[in-house]
Amino acid sequence: LLKIIYNLTLILSSHVFLLRMLFHIQMFKSLSIKTAE
């Protein structure tokens, strides 16, 4: 049971990390576009 919970948290944390990275990249892109204009 502990292994399953550990695996789930690991998968969730990796997904959250990826989502955060994507969000920051989008923010950075929009900011750079705004400054370019």
Residue 35: per-residue pLDDT = 80
Q: How far apart are CA 36 and CA 20, in angstroms?
A: 24
Pull the structure tokens for residue 17: 């990390």
pLDDT tens for each residue of 1-34: 899 999 999 999 999 999 999 999 999 999 888 8
Residue 7: per-residue pLDDT = 95
Quote the Cα angle for 18-13-28, to 5°.
30
Q: Is 1 helix (H, G, I), strand (E, B) or coil?
A: coil
Residue 33: per-residue pLDDT = 82
Residue 34: per-residue pLDDT = 82
Q: How far apart are CA 36 and CA 11, in angstroms?
A: 37
Q: In the chain, what are the domain boundaries?
A: 1-37
Check pLDDT > 80 for residue 36. Answer: no
Check pLDDT > 80 for residue 37. Answer: no
